Structure 1
Amino acid sequence: MYRPKTTLEQWRMLQAVVDNGGYAQAAAALNKSQSSLNHAVAKLQDQLGVSLLEVKGRKAFLTPTGEVLLRRSRALTDTVETLEGLARNIECGWEPEIRLAVESIYPPAQLVALLAQFQPQSRGSRLQIYHSVITGTEELILNGSVDIAITSMIPRGFMGQSLCTVEMVPVVHRDHHLATIGRPVSGEELAQELQLVIRDTAAKPRELGGWLRAENRWTFGHFQDALQVVKAGMGFLWVPRHLVEEELEAGCLKVVRLRDGGSRSAVLNLVLPDPDQAGPGTHLLAELIRGLHNLPLNE
């Protein structure tokens, strides 16, 4: 079994000598004697059989070999510090992993803004993000598979807070005959068209809502895939308006004019399936979501 010749403390002392510009300055910064630093670096060089530093006047400079090894040593010591910090966080109850379910109609810009706020405070926790569709989010909550969820469906027995309302609109390519028909379309007419739908991510999906009357359907895993087909002139798709704002403004896509109303709304909610058992990282993430949507923060 391989046994390291060097120690992390030796590499930290080398880093301190370089970062502080010399042995005397590093000794003052670390509250150690200059002789102990001299001895540690000299022993490190001897153990490796290479020259890492050369002293010119009162300053120490890295050799070319020293530059390479110092750079790699920083990655090593940073990893150890992160590992030790994670151990402390777990000991005080901070979760090593947080599982977040996000319904696919949630605005991507909001998710990115949330992650940007959470990352500096995450304490090294892994974040598992599940993009779920329709009853898939409900299933994740009921199965205890996630710690926190953004969902349009709150299962019976669970509490939620309304975050935002997403407008869903039926869109087609500008040259599709539904866009050029010149009058509102009835539900019966729409049911005769090719409908592109997004697959429910539940293991046992249930049709609890949405417009799924068309018998001729093509099913996709993601909105972006289905939109590419719509842009090619095939079928219609109910899609969150925020995902197609640019295409609608540019005129590439058109909203189908419906006789009985041209849009539907879905309210997205914040759900903590088991708030009493949730760790501090999960509660922090929930608070950031509330703040992002201007909701009152929990005391």
Structure 2
Amino acid sequence: MAKSTLEQWRMFKAVAEHGGFMQAAESVHKSQSSVHHAVNKMEEQLGVELFEIQGRKTSLTDAGKQLLRRVNYLLAETERFENVAQNLKVGVESTLTVAVDEAFPKPILYQAMEKVSEEYPLVHLEIIETILTGANELLNKGLAQVAVAPFVLDNELSEVICDVEFIAVCGAQHGLAQKNTVTPEDLKSCRQIVLRDSGTEKRIDIGWLGSEQRWTVSHLASSIELIRKGLGFAWLPKPAVQQYLDDGSLVPLALKRGAKRSLPFYLNFEDADSLGPVARSFIGQIRYLSL
């Protein structure tokens, strides 16, 4: 059981910061005797002297200096705790979980997260990165409040927010990179790197899957790394690979048809009326930034 109280520590901090009991009393709107009593009581309870008085000057002891550093953290955490409680009282979520397909442009996602955190700095944002049907599955299971996915919901209330361009690429040293024209027959004899659907209930495959050799990976970053090493080819979201196209480590395939394709992305949520202010803020930011 704690021997001291938060109020006593607030009094202690006030005296330390203002250099005296009278000045501290004015800052916390208490009588000087109340502040003096609170600090003296705490010194008795803890068995340590926090201040030393020399003439009219009140100074921290070495022990007081050490405790002041810790009490600043304690009081800051207490304030955050009280703010969280206030948020809950007025209906602000303490946590927002968003499922986002890995192909969705990261700059838009990160800017939306930053803006929401500026508005609600105490709210914990949890981003779950998914592939294909994974985002909507998490939404349907109640494990996310918002999903950004390449598929609509069954309720037909999905909202198109942007189109993402996918481009066929291989590593700069791959044999396909040396060809002036790439045919479907060329692709069939090369290894294709495929992303595994992170959903477990209705896993699907999309796009061209005609290669006789395939490696399947679970994350977009793994696919990019393998292709940059010359170990295969794939259709990848252009925003995710633009930097590697610019530095030459990835090369667009010279296909006559199908080298590029566009995939719509949807903003999905189950019941707009049940969403809290943080979810609404995130949705608004995604809409605005995707324009």
TM-score by length of 2: 0.92
Whether contact under 8 Å (1:187, 1:259) holds in the other structure is no
Measured after TM superposition, the shift of residue 123 of structure 1 is 5.4
Which residue of 25, 37, 44 maps to 1:27? 25
Which residue of 34, 47, 50 maps to 1:49? 47
Whether contact under 8 Å (2:138, 2:144) holds in the other structure is yes
**1:173 and 1:123 mapped to 2: Cα distance?**
42
Please identify, of 17-26 and 243-252, the stretch whose mean Cα deviation from structure 2 is larger: 17-26
Whether contact under 8 Å (2:188, 2:212) holds in the other structure is yes
Measured after TM superposition, the shift of residue 101 of structure 1 is 0.8
**2:155 and 2:37 mapped to 1: Cα distance?**
66
Measured after TM superposition, the shift of residue 58 of structure 1 is 4.4
Assess, with a 3 A threshold, how the Cα gap between structure 1 residues 100 and 52 changes in structure 2: closer, same or farther. same
Whether contact under 8 Å (2:136, 2:268) holds in the other structure is no
Which residue of 78, 85, 88 maps to 2:86? 88
How many residues are paired up? 291
**1:287 and 1:71 mapped to 2: Cα distance?**
40
The alignment yields a C-alpha RMSD, in angstroms, of 2.0
Which residue of 61, 85, 98 maps to 1:63? 61
Which residue of 13, 16, 22 maps to 2:11? 13
Measured after TM superposition, the shift of residue 78 of structure 1 is 2.3
Whether contact under 8 Å (1:93, 1:279) holds in the other structure is yes
TM-score by length of 1: 0.89
Measured after TM superposition, the shift of residue 203 of structure 1 is 0.6
Aligned-partner residue type, residue 81 of structure 1: E
| Cα-to-partner distance string for 1:14-34 (whole Å, 9 max, x where unaligned) | 112223333222211211111
Query: For residue 225 of structure 1, what is the aligned residue in structure 2?
Result: 222
| Cα-to-partner distance string for 1:1-50 (whole Å, 9 max, x where unaligned) | xx211101000111122233332222112111112111111221222122
Measured after TM superposition, the shift of residue 60 of structure 1 is 3.2
* SS of match in other structure, 1:244: helix
Instruction: Report % sequence identity.
Output: 35
Measured after TM superposition, the shift of residue 96 of structure 1 is 2.5
Matches within 5 A, 1:57-136: 58-122=56-120, 124-136=122-134
**2:80 and 2:210 mapped to 1: Cα distance?**
53
Assess, with a 3 A threshold, how the Cα gap between structure 1 residues 160 and 22 changes in structure 2: closer, same or farther. farther
Aligned-partner residue type, residue 45 of structure 1: E
Matches within 5 A, 1:251-262: 251-262=248-259
* SS of match in other structure, 1:218: strand
Assess, with a 3 A threshold, how the Cα gap between structure 1 residues 180 and 210 changes in structure 2: closer, same or farther. same
* SS of match in other structure, 1:75: helix
Aligned-partner residue type, residue 210 of structure 1: G
Which residue of 2, 5, 28 maps to 1:4? 2
Aligned-partner residue type, residue 223 of structure 1: L
Which residue of 169, 173, 180 maps to 1:182? 180
List gaps (5 residues or longer) in structure 2: none
Assess, with a 3 A threshold, how the Cα gap between structure 1 residues 59 and 222 changes in structure 2: closer, same or farther. farther
